[in-house]
Structure 1
Amino acid sequence: MNGTGDDALPFPRQPIRDVVATYSRQAGCPGDFAQVTVDFEPWEEGFAFEVAREARIPADPEVANYVAALEEGLRAELTERVPGCAVAVVLRRLLIHEVDSREGSFRQVGRVAVRVALARG
């Protein structure tokens, strides 16, 4: 029991590493593209997000907006699919296309990453 009266298991029960998620849509030019590799780790409480040192994310305002949008997408999908989960998400890799990447692409890839992790976890 988790104290709420149901037998739901927490998410994630164990680390889920190297989750690769891609969001790609080519309906015209420009299209949409984002790819990330993230780890989902059990956490004490709530949602935490961090960028791994080895990720070597460029110190660029546009890239910072992509990372923030990724975090938004992760948080939104987790809130919808696993409310009340305790998880830390660690960004390991971020792949950007110079024409087709945008904030919306990274919001969507965050949602995809949660779905992939749930399927694996």
Structure 2
Amino acid sequence: MKGLPLPVPDVCVRVLLNRGACGPYAHVVAGFEPPGAGGGFELLSTVPERRLPAEYLPALREGIVEGLDGVAAAVLVTDGTFHEVDSSELGYRIAGREAGRAALVGAGLLPPQEAEALRWASWPGRPRPRRQKAR
């Protein structure tokens, strides 16, 4: 398994489906680091339970693993929030997948153009969207 080659700090994902109505909501901030000595995937959270209940961490983990697509990394979740009604496992799985893809773009393992498909993710150094040419 290939490992993340360099750190990608402060990946922030805020999933807001159906803005103004019910829909999956998730918010996480995580730092991605190259894997530890064991070379595998690790996920730790420092977010208090009142801000991000532990029940959402398995879905977040699944999403991150999917987004990383076989690349090992150590991931530290440093912030997050939930909504009592609108948060769901689906929202955190989507957030995790976007965070994992963002880490791959940030580390140079995916081309910068891939950032355009990441609807809810931001991170320091995120490539700016290309402007559409006027017709």
Which category of TM-score, normalised to the shorter sequence, fits these structures? 0.7 to 0.9
Q: What is the match of residue 131 of structure 2?
A: none
Q: Return the structure number with greater helix share.
A: 1
Q: In 1, distance between residues paired with 2:50 and 2:101? A: 27
Give the unaligned 5+ runs of structure 1.
5-9
TM-score of the aligned structures, taking structure 2 as reference length = 0.68
Q: Which has the higher contact order (CA 8 A, sep 6+)?
A: 1
Identity percentage of aligned residues: 33
Query: Counterpart of 1:107 in 2: which secondary structure?
Result: helix
Give the unaligned 5+ runs of structure 2.
108-135
TM-aligned CA deviation for residue 49 of structure 1 = 0.7
User: Is 1:96 the counterpart of 2:82 in the alignment?
Assistant: yes
TM-score of the aligned structures, taking structure 1 as reference length = 0.75
Q: Return the structure number with greater strand share.
A: 1
Q: What is the match of residue 60 of structure 2?
A: 70
Report the CA distance shift for 1:56/1:116 in structure 2 as closer, same or farther (over 3 A): same
Misfit runs of 4+, over 4 Å? none
Q: In 1, distance between residues paired with 2:80 and 2:34? A: 22
> Number of matched residues?
105
Q: What is the match of residue 119 of structure 2?
A: none
